[in-house]
Structure 1
């Protein structure tokens, strides 16, 4: 007669274990979100390299973030000849994803701006916007203006990053692009673009040259992008159709 084996009954509770795993994943998921915030739309490979994670681990977190609605995916833009195969996907933060980084705006701020506009006119809104960034200009000016002209955009980006704008500088064909991956007043600026215009004016004065605002988070773009021309590299690009150059 054979030995009858008693079946082993699992006492684990999968749902609880899953909850624990998700809680443990939270810090890494925050790192993924922070990397996308600072670098802009990113591929799985780029995130894996930056965070020193496996591509599979990054994909797992991104899948959860897609389900949560904190990121969106799209095909990576390619310029010139494209190789065989489908282009890689890039992942960008959604409005909900940006909101997790404690943006300094709320309904009260919008209401206050509307009241100012209605009571004192659009000129008062413009003056408020200029005063708001005047303090930044005063703090940034010593370091930026002390730098060599070719280094000023980078020094400005570092100062902006210190203040929470997650800024970086990328080389472009006819100059540099100052990119701000986070905007504390994006939702307010959707209705009051004077905030963006005043900021652009400050950038021009700090950098000592005419600059062009090419894109803004408030306008629906993923990154606020300002072109900083370099006269030695040819003419500046045209402002995109439908956009007013606020500077």
Structure 2
């Protein structure tokens, strides 16, 4: 018999999945950061990243230049593509898009908005008590992020300027929202109602951004200037 050598290990094992999940939750992120968090060597992480790039499940962008860095090639940051996000599942597919198209054709804009509002109520209502029990705007934002993560949105918060930024690193309905932005608009309004303050959507996965980013002021909205929001983060764009 011809010796074919040792059996090859599956190329898409738990380590590859762990690397992909970090890109989902934190991307754009560097190979060094991924290696540190997973306690792996940088060369090992780069092999997984190269495989994700080859499969069109990840892409790169240049990291912001740091003056002290000196000469040399700009550092690369990695994030998942739409194909990479798909491995973590989508709540809707082409059938859902077709169904909402039919709803729009037969019931018009009002029917699509009513559907979006009902869906968002189903999403946020189970978490109203937990978010409402939080004392400060920061704690409310964190409670909302926890609720969204439980619903599959891989959400987190971070302090930016005079407010909090809610980042949803995954969107189960991105395919549908890309064609029907009413879903994003109604979701934003529901967040404002839940948090009891004006919020501003800065970026969305449906529009091609790395994450859905929402600015939450730490003080109640009261002036027109507050509506302008903070500077848009790197890689983001207004929704």
- TM-score, normalised via structure 2 length: 0.88
Q: Secondary structure at the match of 2:205?
A: coil
Quick check: which has more Rg, 1 or 2? 1
Q: Secondary structure of 2:28's match? A: coil
Contact 2:209 2:237 in 1 (8 A): no
Residue of 101, 104, 115 corresponding to 1:128? 115
1:162 aligns with 150
8 Å CA contact 2:57–2:84 kept in 1: the answer is yes
Q: C-alpha distance in 2, partners of 1:75/1:53?
A: 23
Q: Where do residues 46-195 of structure 1 align in structure 2 (5 Å cutoff)?
A: 46-78=33-65, 81=67, 83-85=69-71, 86-149=73-136, 150-195=138-183
Instruction: Please tell me whether the aligned partners of residues 214 and 225 of structure 1 are also in contact (alpha carbons under 8 angstroms).
Output: yes
Q: Is the 8 A contact 1:103 1:185 kept in 2?
A: yes
Partners of 1:146 and 1:153 lie apart in 2 by 12
Q: Which runs of 5+ in 1 are unaligned?
A: 1-10
User: For structure 2, which runs of at least 5 residues remain unmatched after alignment?
Assistant: none
Q: Which residue of 2 aligns with 1:237?
A: 230
Contact preservation (8 Å) 1:153, 1:178: yes
What's the CA shift string for 1:103-126, capped at 9, x where partnerless?
111111011101111111101101
Instruction: Please report the RMSD computed on the Cα atoms of aligned residues, expressed in angstroms.
Output: 2.3
The alpha carbon displacement at 1:131 in A equals 0.5
* Residue aligning to 1:4: none
| Residues 33-72 of structure 1 deviation map (CA, whole Å, 9 limit, x = unaligned) | 0111111211011101111111111001111111111101
